[in-house]
Structure 1
Amino acid sequence: MPIKSRDAAAGRRRFLKSAPVAAAAASLTSPVIAAAAQPPAAREASRFAPPNTAAETLAPLIDPSNQTSSGGDFMAEVLNTLPIDFLAMNCASSFRGLHEAVINHTGNRPQILTCPHEEISVSMAQGYAKIEGRPMAVACHGTVGLQHASMAIYNAWCDRVPVYVMIGNIIEADKRGLRAEWAHSAIDPAAMVRDFVKWDDQPASLQHFAESAVRACKIAMTAPMGPVLLSLDGELQENPIEDRGRLRIPKLAGVVPPVGDPGAIAEAARLLADAQAPVILADRMARTPAAMARLVELAESLQCPVIDEGGRMNFPSRHPLNHSFRRASVVGEADVILAIEMNDLWTALNSFSDRIVRDSRPIFKPGTKIITLGSRDLYLKANYQDFGRFADVDLAIAGDGEASLPLLTERIRQRVDASRRSAFEARGSKLAQAQRASLEQAKSQATIAWDASPITTARLCAELWARIEGKDWSLVGNGIRVTWPQRLWNFDRPYRWNGFSGGYGLGYNAPASAGAALANARHGRLSVSIQGDGDLMYAPGTLWTCAHHRIPILYVMHNNRAYHQEFMCLEAMAARHGRGVRNARIGTTLTDPDIDFATVAKGFGVYAEGPITDPNDLGPALARAVAIVERGEPALVDVITDPR
Structure 2
Amino acid sequence: MPRDEPGPGRAEAMDRPQPSGAPDNRAWGSDAIADVLRALDIPFIALNPGASYRGLHDSLVNRLGNTAPQMLVCLHEEHAVSLAQGYYKACGRPIAAALHSNVGLMHGTMAIFNAWCDRVPVLVIGATGPVDAARRRPWIDWIHTAQDQGALIRNYVKWDAQPASVPATREALLRAHQIMTTAPRGPVYVNIDAAVQEMPLDSLPPPPDANRYRAPPPAAPDPALLANAVALLSGAKRPLILMGRVGRTEATWAERLRLAEHLRAKVGTDLKLPASFPTDHPLHLGAPGTFASPSLQAAMREADVILALDWVDLGGTLRSAGAEEGGPQVVLVSPDQRVHNGWSFDHGGLPPADLYFDNEPDPFVTALLAALPGDSPPPAAAAGPQPPATPSEGGLTIAGLAASLRRSTPGREVTLIRVPLGWDGALWHFRHPLDYLGQDGGGGIGSGPGMAVGAALALRGTGRLPVAVLGDGDTMMGLSALWTAAHYRVPLLVIVSNNRSFFNDEVHQERVAKERGRPVENKWVGQAISDPDPDFARLAEGLGLLGIGPATDEAALDAALARAIAHVEAGGTALVDARVAPGYAPSMASALTREPKHT
Asked if TM exceeds 0.5, the reply is: yes
Q: Could you list the per-position Cα deviations for residues 107-162 of structure 1 after superposition, in whole angstroms to 9, with x for gaps in the alignment?
A: 10211101000000000100101112111111101000000000000000000000
Note if 1:330 corresponds to 2:269: no
- C-alpha change, 1:604 and 1:5, in structure 2 (3 Å) is farther
Deviation at 1:489, TM superposition (A): 3.1
- Give yes or no for contact 2:86–2:453 (8 Å, CA) kept in 1: yes
- C-alpha change, 1:238 and 1:365, in structure 2 (3 Å) is closer
Deviation at 1:521, TM superposition (A): 0.9
- Give the counterpart of 1:277 among 233, 238, 257: 238
Q: Distance in 2 between matches of 1:365 and 1:297?
A: 30
Matches within 5 A, 1:16-415: 41-42=16-17, 68-109=26-67, 110-170=69-129, 171-245=131-205, 251-310=212-271, 311-325=273-287, 326-351=295-320, 362-363=322-323, 366-412=326-372, 414=373
Greater mean alpha carbon deviation, residues 125-134 or residues 554-563? 125-134
Q: Which amino acid aligns with 2:164?
A: A
Q: Distance in 1 between matches of 2:6 and 2:110?
A: 27
- Give the counterpart of 2:459 among 520, 535, 554: 520
- C-alpha change, 1:319 and 1:532, in structure 2 (3 Å) is same
Q: Distance in 2 between matches of 1:580 and 1:257?
A: 56
Deviation at 1:247, TM superposition (A): 7.7
- C-alpha change, 1:272 and 1:104, in structure 2 (3 Å) is same
Q: Distance in 2 between matches of 1:186 and 1:242?
A: 29
Q: Give the number of the structure whose alpha-carbon radius of gyration is greater.
A: 1
Deviation at 1:364, TM superposition (A): 7.1
Q: Distance in 1 between matches of 2:207 and 2:462?
A: 37
CA RMSD of aligned residues (A): 2.5
- C-alpha change, 1:4 and 1:167, in structure 2 (3 Å) is farther
Q: Could you list the per-position Cα deviations for residues 175-201 of structure 1 after superposition, in whole angstroms to 9, with x for gaps in the alignment?
A: 111312211111210110000000111
- C-alpha change, 1:90 and 1:459, in structure 2 (3 Å) is same
Corresponding residue SS for 2:423: coil
- C-alpha change, 1:320 and 1:247, in structure 2 (3 Å) is closer
Deviation at 1:43, TM superposition (A): 5.0
- C-alpha change, 1:97 and 1:245, in structure 2 (3 Å) is closer
Deviation at 1:443, TM superposition (A): 7.3
Q: Which amino acid aligns with 2:308?
A: A
Q: Distance in 2 between matches of 1:80 and 1:482?
A: 40
Q: Distance in 2 between matches of 1:262 and 1:161?
A: 29
- C-alpha change, 1:443 and 1:371, in structure 2 (3 Å) is farther
Q: Distance in 1 between matches of 2:221 and 2:541?
A: 52
| Number of residue pairs the alignment of both structures matches | 562
Q: Distance in 1 between matches of 2:61 and 2:204?
A: 20
Greater mean alpha carbon deviation, residues 171-180 or residues 216-225? 171-180
Q: Which amino acid aligns with 1:85?
A: P
Q: Which amino acid aligns with 2:76?
A: H
- Give yes or no for contact 1:333–1:364 (8 Å, CA) kept in 2: no
Deviation at 1:349, TM superposition (A): 2.4
Q: Could you list the per-position Cα deviations for residues 440-463 of structure 1 after superposition, in whole angstroms to 9, with x for gaps in the alignment?
A: 9x979x99x93231x111110011
- Give the counterpart of 1:476 among 417, 420, 434: 417
Q: Distance in 2 between matches of 1:248 and 1:181?
A: 32
Q: Which amino acid aligns with 2:285?
A: H
Deviation at 1:4, TM superposition (A): 7.3
Q: Could you list the per-position Cα deviations for residues 483-506 of structure 1 after superposition, in whole angstroms to 9, with x for gaps in the alignment?
A: 2xx424342222111111110110
* Gap runs ≥5 in structure 2: 288-294, 584-599
- C-alpha change, 1:219 and 1:289, in structure 2 (3 Å) is farther
- C-alpha change, 1:161 and 1:5, in structure 2 (3 Å) is farther
User: Which residue of 2 is the match for residue 622 of structure 1?
Assistant: 561
Deviation at 1:530, TM superposition (A): 0.4
- Give yes or no for contact 1:287–1:402 (8 Å, CA) kept in 2: no
Deviation at 1:366, TM superposition (A): 3.7
- C-alpha change, 1:498 and 1:245, in structure 2 (3 Å) is closer
Q: Could you list the per-position Cα deviations for residues 81-109 of structure 1 after superposition, in whole angstroms to 9, with x for gaps in the alignment?
A: 11310010001100011111101110102
- C-alpha change, 1:3 and 1:235, in structure 2 (3 Å) is farther
Corresponding residue SS for 1:41: coil
Q: Distance in 1 between matches of 2:171 and 2:484?
A: 32
Matches within 5 A, 1:405-554: 405-412=365-372, 414=373, 416=374, 450-453=392-395, 455-480=396-421, 482-483=423-424, 486-554=425-493
Runs of 4+ in 1 over 4 A off after TM superposition: 1-7, 245-250
Q: Could you list the per-position Cα deviations for residues 210-264 of structure 1 after superposition, in whole angstroms to 9, with x for gaps in the alignment?
A: 1111111111111000000100010111121134258856533231012221221
Q: Which amino acid aligns with 1:200?
A: D
- C-alpha change, 1:537 and 1:372, in structure 2 (3 Å) is same
- Give yes or no for contact 1:332–1:365 (8 Å, CA) kept in 2: no
Q: Distance in 2 between matches of 1:561 and 1:533?
A: 7
Deviation at 1:537, TM superposition (A): 1.4
User: Which residue of 2 is the match for residue 49 of structure 1?
Assistant: none
User: Which residue of 2 is the match for residue 10 of structure 1?
Assistant: none
- Give the counterpart of 2:509 among 570, 573, 590: 570
Q: Could you list the per-position Cα deviations for residues 381-408 of structure 1 after superposition, in whole angstroms to 9, with x for gaps in the alignment?
A: 1111101111222221111111211111
- Give the counterpart of 2:543 among 604, 614, 617: 604
- Give yes or no for contact 2:53–2:197 (8 Å, CA) kept in 1: yes
* Gap runs ≥5 in structure 1: 8-38, 45-65, 352-360
- Give yes or no for contact 2:475–2:496 (8 Å, CA) kept in 1: no
Q: Which amino acid aligns with 1:569?
A: H
Pick 1 or 2: higher relative contact order, CA cutoff 8 A, min separation 6: 2
- Give yes or no for contact 1:477–1:510 (8 Å, CA) kept in 2: no
Corresponding residue SS for 2:49: coil
Question: If the length of structure 2 is used for normalisation, what is the TM-score?
Answer: 0.89
- C-alpha change, 1:40 and 1:389, in structure 2 (3 Å) is closer
Question: If the length of structure 1 is used for normalisation, what is the TM-score?
Answer: 0.83
User: Which residue of 1 is the match for residue 290 of structure 2?
Assistant: none
Deviation at 1:616, TM superposition (A): 1.4
Q: Distance in 2 between matches of 1:182 and 1:365?
A: 56
Q: Percent identity?
A: 37
Deviation at 1:347, TM superposition (A): 3.3
Q: Distance in 2 between matches of 1:271 and 1:77?
A: 51
- C-alpha change, 1:176 and 1:524, in structure 2 (3 Å) is farther
Q: Could you list the per-position Cα deviations for residues 57-99 of structure 1 after superposition, in whole angstroms to 9, with x for gaps in the alignment?
A: xxxxxxxxx9832111111111001131001000110001111
Greater mean alpha carbon deviation, residues 155-164 or residues 125-134? 125-134
- Give yes or no for contact 1:544–1:605 (8 Å, CA) kept in 2: yes
User: Which residue of 2 is the match for residue 48 of structure 1?
Assistant: none
- Give yes or no for contact 2:248–2:276 (8 Å, CA) kept in 1: no
Of Structure 1 and Structure 2, which has the larger fraction of its residues in helix? 1
Q: Distance in 2 between matches of 1:576 and 1:443?
A: 41
